Amino acid sequence: MRIYGYKGSTVQQDLNRQLDILSQYNCIEVLTEKMSGTKTNRPELMRLKDKVRAGDTIIVESFSRLGRSTRDLMELVDYFKSKGIILISIKENFDTNTPQGNLMLTVFEAFSQFERDLIVQRTKEGLESARARGRKGGRPKVKERNIEKALKLYNSKEYSISEIVKMSGISQATLYRYIQKQGSSSENTINPTNEKIAQILMSLRVENNNKFVRGKKKARENIERYLKYYYNMKKASSSDDDYIIFVKYKDIDELKNTVYEIFRELENEADAKNCFTEGDASCDELNLNW
Q: Tens digit of pLDDT per residue, the chain (290 long)?
A: 466 666 555 444 456 777 777 777 778 887 777 655 444 567 788 888 888 888 888 888 777 667 666 777 778 888 888 888 888 888 878 888 888 887 877 887 787 777 777 878 888 887 787 778 776 655 566 777 788 888 888 877 777 777 888 888 887 777 777 877 776 444 444 444 466 888 888 888 888 877 666 778 888 888 888 888 778 888 877 767 788 888 888 888 888 888 888 888 888 888 888 888 888 888 888 888 88
Total structural domains within the chain:
3
**In-domain check, residue 180:** yes
One domain, residues 200 and 181: no
Same structural domain, 217 and 290: yes
One domain, residues 201 and 181: no
The answer to whether residues 52 and 83 belong to one domain is: yes
> What is the per-residue pLDDT across 16-32, written as a single tens digit (0 to 9) for each?
777 777 777 778 887 77
Residue 113 falls inside a structural domain: no
| Residue ending a domain, choose from 87, 108, 129 | 108
Q: What is the pTM of this model?
A: 0.38
**pLDDT reported for residue 7:** 52
Q: Which residues contact 102 (CB under 8 A, 6 or more apart)?
A: 96
Residue 158 lies in a domain: yes
Residue 223 in any domain: the answer is yes
Q: What is the pLDDT of residue 272?
A: 80
Predicted local distance difference test score (pLDDT) of residue 13: 46
Residue in 235, 240, 238, 230 with CA at minimum distance from that of residue 207 = 240
pLDDT for 37: 45
Q: Are residues 26 and 99 in the same domain?
A: yes
Is 133 contained in some domain?
Answer: no
Cα separation values, 77 from 3, 44, 52, 64, 274, Å: 16, 16, 14, 13, 22
Give the active site residues: 9
Residues 248 and 260 in one domain: yes
Write the pLDDT tens digit of every residue in 210-259: 766 677 888 888 888 888 877 888 887 776 778 888 888 888 888 888 88
Structural domain containing residue 52: 3-108
Residue 124, Cβ neighbours under 10 Å: how many?
10
Amino acid letter at 120?
V
Instruction: State whether 281 and 213 are in the same domain.
Output: yes
Indicate whether 203 and 265 sit together in one domain: yes
**Final residue of a structural domain among 67, 93, 108:** 108
Q: Are residues 199 and 259 in the same domain?
A: yes
Contact call for residues 19 and 73 (beta carbons, < 8 A): no
Cα 43–46–51 angle (5° rounding)? 125
Residues 163 and 207 in one domain: no
Q: What is the pLDDT of residue 186?
A: 47
Please check whether residue 132 lies inside any domain of the structure: no
**Are 163 and 241 contained in the same domain?**
no
- Our separate counts of H helices and E strands in the chain read 10, 10
d(CA 235, CA 258): 20
Residue 129 lies in a domain: no
Residue 71: inside a domain: yes
* One domain for residues 164 and 205: no
Residue that finishes a domain, picked among 164, 189, 214: 189
Task: Give CA–CA dist 212/12, Å, rounded.
Answer: 30
Residue 56: give its domain's CATH number: 3.40.50.1390
